[in-house]
Chains A and B, each alone.
Chain A
Amino acid sequence: MPGVAYRRSLVSPDPLTRLAREDSGRVLALLARRFGVGPAEEAVQDALAEAARVWPERGVPMNPPAWLMTVAKRKAIDRLRREASARRRTRDAAFDSQVAGSDTADAADAWAVDDGDGDTMTVDEQHISDDQLRLMLLCCHPALDRDTQVALTLRLVGGLTTPEIAAAFLVAEATLAQRIVRAKRKIRDAGIPLSIPADLDGRLDSLLSVLYLVFNEGYLSRGGASDGAAVRVDLADEAIRLTALVAALVPDHAETDGLLALELFHRARSHTRLDDAGDLVLLERQDRSQWDGAVIRDGNAVLARALRRMQPGPYQLQAVIASHHANARAAADTDWPAITVLYAQLVAMTGSPVIRLNHAISVAMADGPLAGLALLNDIGGLDSYHLLHATRGELLARAGDIAGARAEFERALRFTDNPAERRHLERRRLDPTV
């Protein structure tokens, strides 16, 4: 699959986890077309549970994805047979009786699916891609709320387990399990279809914002490795993997590549965001020699690919800004005037208050703190956002108003629980001098 090789900081997961993350989504997508999302998901989960029981004794099979496809398919069929309700389509009944004889796990025909025409055919990459895309788009259907979209995407497409997702988002496992059960029920009862929607662009926007949300959750990692919990799934890497998958499935959509590039540029810097004590290190102080040059080069390539399509959009703009930082050898080399222009475009495109804040910061870097402060005062809607007050604090300190700065850091502390952020703000409050 074309895409970007990204660097994992974690040790390679065990074969079963790798199967779940990298292959179960594809198998589920294929089976969903025939059996529906709910039954397909149960079949895949049952098959993975069987693998967990059986592989330690019998060893890992030669071709794990083929094994999964065969076993999950058999379980889906067995389930259909058990159910007393009438089949909606006679095609399923024909499929059912034809497959009855092929129970042996044969690696060669493991991807074979009968399409009802009487002959067994091997599913080619394009069919798998279409089914996978449909599944990803289903997970982000507007009839599902955002929390559900996130959980479903990670579960059905990413192949993460319920405990993994719950731990990553600091949500109780039971809550998350219920969310997924309700979602599957709604998909079935309300008839949410597995299809490419008429408004594909709109749905892709939803999918990308789900993935960006997952990335940010991982990138800003609320607890950090020191919070005592078991090793948490690296959500940032998961988001990158899934974004790359979308880019492969929908190659002519520039914003997907834009998001991927943005994620890569952030990811390249993630080692330097916190120091050894787990405290925040601001961008201008980060040790750029520790930035992952290979990931930055990947980001550059993906961004170039995006821009060539001439379909401008906010993720691409953010990625261009991020590339300015990522490619500047030293903080002093940063082209702030260029960045202010980009932010101004982004403000015009989105009207987002947070982006106005970032614009104000870039103006301060280019034209001095007073210019930035003036812009800050015009931003509405961020009064409970700790970064607004922290930013004002920094700019006041740079402008020489130490008392004013202290008051702003004080105010900022009221609006964040994040331990690393709080420690940083406490330090700034105690000594606001630059």
Chain B
Amino acid sequence: MEYMILIHSDESDEMPSPGTPEFDAMMGEWAAYNQRLIDGGHWVAGASLQPTVTATVVRTQPGAASTITDGPFIESKEQLGGFYLVTADDLDQAIELAEGIPVPGASLEVRPVAFRPDAD
């Protein structure tokens, strides 16, 4: 089964600056996690997103022009910061994979994929 893991966390949390040893350590953790997904045959896709200040919201309506505004979609303390698309045997395995994501404090939504056009 395929699952999407949506990573929501507080953007205002302290992040190490690029070039610092803490930054390298953090990137190392992410690289290791990604490799674990690949090695385990779970990796389908994944990406981190630019912060919500860069977001734009397009609201469409049938028969009318769409409205375009400065984002994000919902104002909330925790924002969508990245995602993974994984293959897992069942929900419990997907949850286990989600728990391994090296983000200090996050709300991870784990939702099964209904249909992916580019799936094998």
Contacts and interface: CB of A to CB of B under 8 A. Distances in A.
Contacts of B91: 141, 143, 190-193
B90 A192 contact: yes
Interface in B79-97: 88-92, 94, 96
Interface of A: 141, 143, 189-193, 195, 197-198
Interface string B25-65: 00000000000000000000000000000000000000000
A198 to B, nearest CB: 8
13 contacts: A141-B91, A143-B91, A189-B112, A190-B111, A191-B1, A191-B88, A191-B89, A192-B90, A192-B92, A193-B92, A195-B92, A197-B92, A198-B92
Contacts of A198: 92, 96
Contacts of B111: 190
A140 to B, nearest CB: 13
Contacts of B96: 198
A434 B54 CA distance: 70
Given A191-B90, A191-B91, 12 more contacts: A143-B91, A189-B112, A190-B111, A190-B112, A191-B1, A191-B89, A191-B112, A192-B91, A193-B92, A195-B90, A197-B92, A198-B92
A143 B93 CA distance: 13
Contacts of B88: 191
Contacts of A141: 91
Contacts, number: 25
A193 B89 contact: yes
Q: Interface centre among B89, B90, B91, B112, by most A CB within 10 Å? A: B91
Contacts of A195: 90, 92
Contacts of B90: 191-193, 195
Nearest to B88: A191
B80 to A, nearest CB: 20
Nearest to A142: B95
A404 to B, nearest CB: 44
A149 to B, nearest CB: 15
A35 B96 CA distance: 25
A189 B89 CA distance: 13
A143 B96 CA distance: 13
A104 to B, nearest CB: 36
Interface in B90-118: 90-92, 94, 96, 111-112
A346 B24 CA distance: 46
Contacts of A189: 112
A191 B3 CA distance: 10
A201 to B, nearest CB: 15
A121 to B, nearest CB: 26
Of B88, B92, B111, B112, most buried by chain A (CB within 10 Å of CB) is: B92
A193 B91 CA distance: 7
Contacts of A197: 92
Nearest to A143: B91
A143 B3 CA distance: 14
A191 B96 CA distance: 14
Most buried by B among A143, A191, A193, A198: A191
Nearest to A192: B91
